[in-house]
Chains A and B, each alone.
Chain A
Amino acid sequence: LYRRPTREEITIVKRAFNKWGIFSFFRDKPLLINERKTDKQKEIYLLSSDLEQLIIDREPCIAGLKIGELKKKFIPSLQGADLIARTSNKFPYILVNEMSEQRVVYGKNILGESIIEKSEMLDENQLVILLNKKRETIGIGRTRVSSRYLLQHGKATVTTLVDIGSYLRNE
């Protein structure tokens, strides 16, 4: 069931959007929460204004674009990460070479030597958006080490959590 976010949920989302640099992009955009029946997981969807009006009392199977999940924090989905990368100029990222791009879309982790650019300060265990050389979003990862060790050769320094190849693998 899609519903409007509560005041508490809005606060968490706003704080997260500010952190990811997308606060102003989402300022006037309708967002709805879909709480999954199976595990009570809260998913956040971006919708056009007309669509929001239409579905609020007519339960669809799917509506809008899932941009992330709301746990204690906001966790972007692949599509949410793509929106962030297109609109924000302050988000944590790792930019990889072509060989690593191929590995990522098969769900493989990222080796230190394949990273050609990264955000300035990254902590260990931090969510990062994975970009290819054209700065396109190819996945979401989690750092295994902090900034200064990320480029280590011969070591997987970023875990690939989700990637655009999963669309095909899950089909």
Chain B
Amino acid sequence: MKALIFPNSNESSAYAKRYGYHDWIISRFLQFIPDLGYLLEKLDEEPQKYIRVNTLKISISELKASLQEKGFELADTLLPEVFAIKKATFPIGATIEYLLGYYYIQDISSCFAVEALDLKENHSVLDMAASPGGKTTLIAQKMKNTGCVVALESSFKRIRSISFNLARCGITNACVYNMDGQHAVKLNMKFDRVLLDAPCSCEGVIGKDKTRKTSHKPEDIEFCGTNQLRLIESALKVVKHDGLLIYSTCSFAPEENELIVNSMLEKFDVEIEPLQYGSEGLIRFGQYRFHPSLRNSRRLYPHIHNTTGFYIAKLRVR
């Protein structure tokens, strides 16, 4: 499916010129992003960094005290195990506590996606695009190292980073397969929970990588959308009856988010359940009209939620 392109306006051209974006990106953003000026301003700032406490190895209060003793300033967030870093006296990826696996550097938006899985001990979980392992390790942590987490990664090179993170965090209930999520049925297994954090055009992380303001092309959205459709269909085939699929991306593009989930509503017996954090999902975009339950899905915006741009949908399989 092609990315919708909208005509430029004086407003879009002014924003594009002021913040250094291609016109087509801004014209699209104006259709669905609230307070766009604030978003563009926010994306030019240093993004908020978060750490997630690995409660398999240390308690939340112990880690907080340990980092504060070293001069770190941490702020509480909506999730008890996640802190926003307000001041760091050392690089946060090089402290003894990091090396000991006491925390993981992870945006809170990813933690919301795992939170949405409603994990219980002894669940079987599939993480369909696992590298570098942030969500995999959080899933394992939430299950207290019980049950099993199957992580898929299509690139053999990237498995090394998952391996490093699983070991550092002391994970005993996870395994990794060098497999494209599209072939998940070959595992010959059904799962209580499936997480598909789909490879995407990464519009939501422009704040971390400013080159995307001009390197991003409409074809990226089209390419990713096609791939995401294949992945989500594959994911739905391996969820147990009454199980959950969490679909997420770090893109703002409705063609990679609501449109993908909407097409699954037409094809599978699934329902979209409400989520706690974020703004409502879209029910219209350009000529597209989506099922009203898409409102239950969630959009996270850097200027509103202080996260990377993110989308999450929770699908219950009937």
Contact = CB atoms under 8 A, between A and B. Distances in A.
B164 interface: yes
A50 B148 contact: yes
Given A105-B99, A132-B96, A167 B176 contact: no
Contacts of B170: 65, 79, 82-83
Interface string B34-75: 000000000000000000000000000000000000000000
B96 A48 contact: no
A23 B46 CA distance: 50
A46 B171 CA distance: 9
Nearest to A101: B96
Contacts of A101: 96
Contacts of A50: 122, 124, 146-148, 173
A140 interface: no
Interface residues of B, number: 33
A47 B159 CA distance: 19
A102 B128 CA distance: 38
Contacts, number: 91
B178 A138 contact: no
B172 A64 contact: yes
A136 interface: yes
B187 interface: yes
Interface in B90-125: 93-94, 96, 99-100, 122, 124
A164 interface: yes
A31 to B, nearest CB: 10
Interface of A: 46-48, 50-51, 54-55, 58, 60-66, 78-79, 82-83, 101, 105, 132, 136-138, 164-165, 167-168, 170-171
Interface of B: 93-94, 96, 99-100, 122, 124, 145-148, 150, 156, 159, 161-164, 166-168, 170-178, 187-189
